């Protein structure tokens, strides 16, 4: 979730779902919808922005496919602190 901060947004609400091993989008969404906490993150009415991604690993990781979803509600642009 640090990526949301580094993208330049101040976040008033933030939710993240992570999954591993599902082979397609339908399977991962169904897994999240069947999990109470993950489903709440997807269905949260206040979220205004959503990003999702998938990564494949052909190496020695436990799973070959990893999924993530981040939803958030920004306050607005982050203002850099000047020293």
Tokens at residue 74, please? 């920004």
Q: Which residues of 65-77 are buried (b: 16+ CB within 10 A; e: fewer)?
A: bbbbbbbbebeee
- Name the more confident of 52 and 9: 52
Full-model pTM: 0.74
**H-helix segments, 20-77:** 25-33, 36-43
pLDDT band of 14, cuts 50, 70, 90: confident
Q: Please write the tens of the pLDDT for every residue from 18-76.
A: 999 999 999 999 999 999 999 999 898 888 888 899 999 888 889 999 999 988 887 66
């Amino acid at each position: 979730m640090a990526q949301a901060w580094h993208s330049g947004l101040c976040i008033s609400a933030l939710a993240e779902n992570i999954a591993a091993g599902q082979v397609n989008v339908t399977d991962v969404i169904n897994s999240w919808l069947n999990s109470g906490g993950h489903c709440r993150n997807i269905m949260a009415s206040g979220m205004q922005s959503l990003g999702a991604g998938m990564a494949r690993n052909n190496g020695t990781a436990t799973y070959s496919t990893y999924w993530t979803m981040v939803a958030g509600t920004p306050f607005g642009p982050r203002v850099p602190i000047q020293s």
